Amino acid sequence: MPRPHLRRRLAAGVLALATTAATLTLAPTAAEAVVLPNNFKSVGYMPSWSGNVNSIQYGKLTHINYAFVLPNGDGSLRPVENPGKLSSLVSLGHANNVKVSIAVGGWNDGDDSAFEALAANSSTRTAFVNNLIAFVNQYNLDGVDMDWEYPDPGASANNYTLLMQQLGSALHSRGKLLTAAVVSEGYYVDGVPTAVFGSVDWLNIMAYDGGSPHANYDWSIASVNRWKSRGLPAAKAVLGVPFYSRPGYYTYSALVGMDPANANRDCTTVGGAQQCYNGVPTVKRKTQWAMANAGGMMNWELSQDTTGSTSLVSATLL
């Protein structure tokens, strides 16, 4: 997830499309399942520390990831924050035909030492997998979203592969999902070996916190194409978009609250500094590209969106 000090800040939800032949229509009512062409995904993150589960636009999502639960180096899990919120999210999600997964890890101030330790030997890998299966069963979840964001190329990447293969087998044999959040570019891309692609249902590509300005259209599309060029099937490539600005990390809803016209911009000035983000036109444009070239849309994160005509989740209703 978004990096500097953002384990406590930023998750995502986008899209809802219904199609009849080649015609896309607007979203279903809250209690109906979102019908997306070609199994297209609309993935949103809901953080434990922000947002109200009653405010989520469930009718515009197919999947929600609750962020985060953290591991220990011995394969055990730390207590999840706001477990009552998670339980409510699962109940409301399922009532609206939305699948809910637990996101494991996150930015966590860049500290992935627990992942490194637990993935390094078979006994702690097995303990971690068993503990996650128990967690999924306890909360009636639909899967796991692995957010070990920065496995290093080499031994760490090999351990990541072994972990994901074992976790994927355990989840898939139980009819559950395994997804993962991955970086957009750079050194850590090779920390996720291509051998992992067969073990996941899809990858949530964090196409933000990069480019100039951050998450601009061309850079974001190039991020997804980079993963596809490594052999990731288009159907497993989910394009992530930010609901916040850089460099100040203003939420999209705060920016629109300052000036409703900001909904149709990608940059605005706040306190004398330029803040750049994705407004409605850019999110629509990215969605159009993803509909033809990827497997879905993801954003970080649901509590940062607006409601009504300026909503970025709604902006993906093409």
**Residue 88 pLDDT grade (very low, low, confident, very high; cuts 50, 70, 90):** very high
pTM: 0.90
Whether 5 shows a pLDDT value over 60: the answer reads no
For residues 139-153, average pLDDT: 96
In 120-270, where do the E strands start and end? 143-147, 177-182, 202-205, 237-242, 267-270
Residue 316 confidence (pLDDT): 76
Question: What is the torsional sign of CA 130, 132, 135, 136?
Answer: negative
pLDDT averaged over the chain?
90
Residue 246 lies in a domain: yes
For residue 111, pLDDT over 70 is answered with yes
Q: Would the pLDDT of 165 be above 50?
A: yes
Give the pLDDT confidence score for residue 28 in this predicted structure: 41
Asked whether residue 3 is domain-assigned, the answer is no
Cis peptide upstream of residue 128 (ω within 30 degrees of 0)? no
The arithmetic mean of pLDDT across residues 196-223, rounded, is 98
In a domain, 79, yes or no: yes
pLDDT bucket at 212, cuts 50 / 70 / 90: very high
Convert the pLDDT of each residue in 48-76 to its tens digit.
Answer: 999 999 999 999 999 999 999 999 999 99
CATH code of residue 174: 3.20.20.80
- Domain extent for 287: 18-315
Tokens of 218: 């061309």
Q: How many domains does the chain have?
A: 1
